[in-house]
Amino acid sequence: MASISGICSSSPSLKPQKPLLRSIHSLRRDSLAFPTRSPPKLADRIQSVAREISAELSSSSKPEILKKKEKIEALEKDPRALWRRYVDWLYQHKDLGLLIDVSRVGFSDEFVAEMEPRFRGAFKAMEELEKGAIANPDEGRMVGHYWLRSPKLAPKSSLRSQIENTLDAVCSFANDVVSGKIKPPTSPEGRFTQILSVGIGGSALGPQFVAEALAPDNPPLKIRFIDNTDPAGIDHQIAQLGDELASTLVIVISKSGGTPETRNGLLEVQKAFREAGLEFAKQGVAITQENSLLDNTARIEGWLARFPMFDWVGGRTSEMSAVGLLPAALQGIDIREMLAGASIMDEANRTTVVRNNPAALLALCWYWASDGIGSKDMVVLPYKDSLLLFSRYLQQLVMESIGKEFDLDGNRVNQGLTVYGNKGSTDQHAYIQQLREGVHNFFVTFIEVLRDRPPGHDWELEPGVTCGDYLFGMLQGTRSALYSNNRESITVTVQEVTPRSVGALIALYERAVGIYASLVNINAYHQPGVEAGKKAAGEVLALQKRVLTVLNEASCKEPVEPLTLEEVAERCHAPEDIEMIYKVVAHMAANDRAIIAEGSCGSPRSLKVFIGECNVDELYA
Ligand SMILES: O=P(O)(O)OC[C@H]1O[C@H](O)[C@H](O)[C@@H](O)[C@@H]1O
């Protein structure tokens, strides 16, 4: 363990910055002020400061150009020079009809050269990853989402068979449902007409994005989602189904098979089925890891079908697994085209020449624009209604991958890249004002779709001008207006929104995230921070149970004994949790599950509370 003196006597050329010196002094103060403090706490502090210093030192290895970056004058504005830059850096994938324009991001040739060694490392890491290396070291897992669209790449024939067999099973099941060969036991239509997808995070965002982007106007089955544990939201979806619940295929998606929100959604939907006199198992499908709680439930209860998820596919990169493919196929979306687009994009991203590698180009721009530390947000602006959910999909893909506290060497780096946005030109009437003239804390990614309407369907709303021309003009105008005020942007262009182009876009960003993560030396494939929230939620519910027990005891007395919050906290043996107890009581009271005998929730100290019915069984539970 580094001693304080050791980590303080850094060489003059690499003196830690002021904030770190403050942490060291506070560390000294702590150790002097509390000599009796148990060594482990002090050791933790020393380790923490050591990590902060080494992170500072390692970040001081930041490419020289970034240190000078803030000194770079305004972006290039000469039209001739910009045109040259546009042409020189334009990436084109002919087969996919995809272009990437990075000319409005101001990185210099010097920067590109400086970054070359990092890219070599990133390409090597990606090559190893695709060969089956443990690319997720924190969870000891391989990372295999690229194999889903190129099964022959899988490092073992057994994995290849799993991928191919699952795809065949998905296609076969979807065909049988759409054709009516597989149908619900009792439904007026005599076939499935609706999909109710129950899942959250990566078990919802991909299917939601793809449904919005690619579902036909009249799909064989119309999809809706329960992606939260909000009772009103669940009720709304079930109410909208109405009698069509009888012809609804319920797909429950959870890689872990134990996510509380998804489990609650399932229980609520099963209750709705019981109340409608329907047999859930005959209309239920599970997509989860084999032998998970959900998988075993579906097997034991005899659900209609089960499809596997693999531990080497992360939730946020599972769209090309059964998670995304089954819902898409049931909507009549050509999933083999989606897989093909992704596979072709993957192949393009295997070149080790940065300017010929679309994903590397994005990663280069992200690093330049956000200084490799997320100093600027990524605003995603598709100028196409059907791509509305792309930014929400990218929020999880990018932020759950890049937003990490420690890097692969254990340095505290608090990395990230914030993503937001909806669609253009709509967002021009919401926050583009701030982007154009306000705080300069972002760069934009425009997603341009050239085809406005299917051939033969266009219409001029004024001589020589169509609606689509306006959309085109708004995108280009916004790009120019932002750039003229030194706001940088990337433009990704596709010919039209098709399964192939959507598959390519998904693959492009999956790879860009993986490459960028290597550039900033983090593990893109785990999500330790999510567990903290789940654990805390469990503690709140445990406290709530104790509060209810205490209130029940008080309510079973003759006469009933309304309690103050202090009394409840004391009887829960949790005086330090009085604020959470107050929130539990307020939530209970708002749902008629606790009765305010005196006072009001607005003045917590006045509160006296009990619960309506004494539950004698609970008393002796
Ligand atoms: O698919 P599940 O196991 O239910 O997990 C759903 C989601 O849970 C957490 O939020 C994870 O951080 C996500 O990556 C995951 O997509």
Residue among 169, 130, 187, 178 nearest 153 (CA)? 130
Nearest-CA residue for atom 14 of ligand 1: 315
Residue 7: pLDDT band with limits 50, 70, 90: very low
Q: Which of 429, 457, 535, 573 is catalytic?
A: 429
Other CB atoms closer than 10 Å to residue 57's CB: what's the count? 18
493: three-class secondary structure by DSSP = strand
Distance from CA of residue 313 to its chain's centroid? Answer: 14
301 given a catalytic annotation: no
CA dist., res. 280 & res. 292, Å (int): 19
User: What is the DSSP secondary structure assignment for residue 398, as one 8-state letter?
Assistant: I
Burial category of 210 from C-beta neighbours within 10 Å (exposed 0-12, middle 13-18, buried 19 and up): buried
Residue 41 CA to residue 503 CA, distance in Å, equals 49
579 CA to centre of ligand 1 in angstroms:
29
Protein residue with its CA nearest to atom 16 in ligand 1: 202
Binned at pLDDT 50, 70 and 90, residue 48 comes out as low
- To 10 degrees, what angle do helices 528-555 and 578-590 make? 70
Give pLDDT tens digits for 296-338: 999 999 999 999 999 999 999 999 999 999 999 999 999 999 9
Question: In whole angstroms, what is the distance from residue 321 CA to residue 287 CA?
Answer: 10
User: Tens digit of pLDDT for each residue in 522-553?
Assistant: 999 999 999 888 888 999 999 999 999 999 99
User: Ligand 1 centre from 255 Cα, in Å?
Assistant: 7
Whole-angstrom distance, CA of residue 598 vs CA of residue 249: 49
Residues with a CB atom less than 6 Å from ligand 1: 200-203, 254-256, 259, 262, 315-316, 400, 527, 530
* H or E, element range at 609: strand 603-610
Atom of ligand 1 nearest to the CA of 261: 4
Percent of the chain with pLDDT over 90: 83
212 catalytic residue (yes or no): no
Pairing of strands 603-610, 419-420: unpaired
Whole-number Cα distances in Å, 229 to 199, 262, 263, 348:
10, 7, 9, 40
Q: Residue 69: what pLDDT?
A: 61
Tell me, what's the pLDDT at 613?
81
Which atom of ligand 1 is closest in space to residue 259's alpha carbon?
4
Please determine, for residue 10, whether its predicted confidence score (pLDDT) is greater than 80: no
Q: pLDDT tier at 34 (50, 70, 90 boundaries)?
A: very low
| pLDDT of 44 | 67
Catalytic residue among 124, 534, 545, 557: 534
What's the token pair of residue 45?
């502090």
Q: Using the predicted structure, report yes or no on whether residue 29 has a pLDDT greater than 70.
A: no
Summarize pLDDT for 383-400 with one digit per residue, the tens. 999 999 999 999 999 999
Is the pLDDT score of 16 beyond 60?
no
Q: How far is the CA of 311 from the centre of ligand 1 (A)?
A: 12
Q: How far does residue 392's CA lie from ligand 1's centre (Å)?
A: 15
pLDDT tens digits, 128-151: 999 999 999 999 999 999 999 999
Q: Which of 553, 557, 547 is nearest to 607 (CA)?
A: 547
Task: With beta carbons less than 8 A apart as the criterion, state whether 453 and 468 touch.
Answer: yes
Count CB neighbours of 390 within 10 A.
27
Query: Rounded to the nearest whole angstrom, what is the distance from the C-alpha of residue 233 to the centroid of ligand 1?
Result: 19
Bridge partners of 309, per DSSP, are 289
State mean pLDDT over 68-96: 87
pLDDT range class, residue 33, cuts 50, 70, 90: very low
Among 400, 401, 402, 535, name the best residue to mutate to test ligand 1's pocket (greatest count of ligand atoms within 8 A of Cβ).
400
Q: What is the pLDDT of residue 37?
A: 40
Task: Place 65 in a pLDDT band, splitting at 50, 70 and 90.
Answer: low
Beta bridge partners of 503: none
- Which is more confidently placed, 13 or 50? 50
Q: State the distance between the two ends of the chain, measured CA to CA, in whole angstroms.
A: 50
318 CA: nearest ligand 1 atom: 16
Using the atom order of ligand 1, give the atom closest to the CA of residue 262. 4
Beta strands at 248-254 and 194-198: parallel, antiparallel or unpaired: parallel
Which H or E run contains 512?
helix 499-519
pLDDT, mean of residues 452-476: 96
How high is the ipTM of this complex? 0.99
Question: Worst-scoring range by mean pLDDT, 55-64, 83-92, 398-407, 611-620?
Answer: 55-64
In DSSP terms, 91 is beta-bridged to 100
Residue 31's pLDDT band, with cuts at 50, 70 and 90, is very low
For the question of residue 404 being annotated catalytic, the response is no
Q: What average pLDDT does the segment 240-261 reach?
A: 97
**Rounded Cα distance, 54 and 521, in Å:** 14
Buried b / exposed e over 519-528, threshold 16 CB at 10 Å, is bbbbbbbbbe
Check whether 61 has a pLDDT greater than 80. no
Taking CA atoms only, the protein residue closest to ligand 1 atom 7 is 201
Q: What is the mean pLDDT of residues 340-350?
A: 98
Closest ligand 1 atom to residue 253 Cα is 1
pLDDT in tens, 180-219: 999 999 988 899 999 999 999 999 999 999 999 999 999 9
Residue to probe by mutation, ligand 1, list 145, 255, 295, 531, most atoms within 8 Å of CB: 255
Q: How far is the CA of 206 from the centre of ligand 1 (A)?
A: 12
pLDDT, residue 38, reads 43
The rounded percent of the chain whose pLDDT value lies above 70 is: 88
Q: Are 141 and 134 in contact (CB under 8 A)?
A: yes
Atom index in ligand 1 nearest the CA of residue 314 equals 14
Q: Would you state the pLDDT for residue 70?
A: 55
Q: Which residue has the higher pLDDT, 37 or 441?
A: 441
Q: Is the pLDDT of residue 12 over 90?
A: no
Report CA 526 to chain centroid distance, whole Å. 12
- What residue's CA is closest to ligand 1, atom 2? 254
Q: Which of 136, 251, 399, 530 to mutate to test the pocket of ligand 1 (most atoms within 8 A of CB)?
A: 530
What pTM does this model have? 0.89
Question: Quick one: pLDDT at residue 68?
Answer: 57
Distance CA 322, CA 308 (A): 7
Q: What is the distance between the alpha carbons of residues 547 and 569, in angstroms, rounded to a whole number?
A: 8
Q: Ligand 1 centroid vs 262 CA: distance in angstroms? A: 10
Residue count of the chain: 621
3-state secondary structure of 385: helix
Protein residue with its CA nearest to atom 6 in ligand 1: 201
259 C-alpha to ligand 1 centroid (Å) = 7
Which H helix or E strand runs over 126? helix 109-131
Mean pLDDT of the chain: 91
User: pLDDT tens, 217-249?
Assistant: 999 999 999 999 999 999 999 999 999 999 999
pLDDT at 2: 37
CB 191 within 8 A of CB 175: no
pLDDT of residue 66: 67
Substitution candidate for ligand 1 out of 138, 198, 200, 252 with most atoms within 8 A of CB: 200
Looking at 56, 130, 400, 488, which residue is catalytic?
A: 400
Residue with more model confidence, 118 or 597? 118
Output the CA 267–ligand 1 centroid distance in Å: 18
